[in-house]
Structure 1
Amino acid sequence: MLIIPCPYCGERPELEFSYGGQAHIDRPLAPSDLSDEEWNSYLYVRANPKGRHAERWRHIHGCARFFNAVRDTRTDHILATYKVGEPEPEIPA
């Protein structure tokens, strides 16, 4: 089982969390001004890297807050977690 360190509550088992997709996706300021292709890209196109990936998570059975995590998709290892609004931390290779 994956242990995820919530930046608000500390380490908890994976079962307490819900995955929320790629982190740092900004909603368009004027969605109605976007073309169909731009709107489609915003809704559906996401990075799918092999390696480090910034993700959004929610601690649904704890503080109920959203936070970001950097996870290595090859090993499923959580490299860092941080609060929404904070920059992605520098993690040495």
Structure 2
Amino acid sequence: MRLNCPLCGERDRREFYYMGHADYLNRPSEGAAPDAWDAYLHLRDNPAGLTRDLWFHEMGCSAWLVVERNTVTHEILSTTLATDVKEAGE
């Protein structure tokens, strides 16, 4: 599998480290209830099909990426800098 880093171009997936679902960008606010933190840290779906995941470009520019991909076909639909996704409020 190859990922297209917006800063470095197309790279082999072994340069990246998978960090989990992109929901991790939506951290609970300070003072949030314990249930909100439990859901944020531990409750994840494991869908077959389209997902939005966080990947870290470990052996490259050290950027955080949001990768939209299909877990069934391994097709990469898009890669976006996580900072751009966070700023857009997606």
1:67 aligned partner, one-letter code: L
Q: CA RMSD in A?
A: 1.5
Partner of 1:91 in structure 2?
none
Deviations 1:27-69 (A, max 9, x none): 1112x4413x332211111122111100000110000110110
**Partners in 2 of 1:53 and 1:33 — Cα distance?**
26
Aligned residue-pair number: 84
User: What is the percent sequence identity of the aligned residues?
Assistant: 36
More helix by share: 2
Q: Which runs of 5+ in 1 are unaligned?
A: 88-93
Deviations 1:65-85 (A, max 9, x none): 101100101011211101113
Contact 2:17 2:57 (C-alpha < 8 Å) held by counterparts:
yes
Large movers: runs of 4+ above 2 Å:
none
Residue 28 and residue 75 in structure 1: after superposition, are their counterparts in 2 closer, same or farther (change >3 A)? Answer: same
Contact 2:28 2:36 (C-alpha < 8 Å) held by counterparts:
no
Q: Which runs of 5+ in 2 are unaligned?
A: 86-90
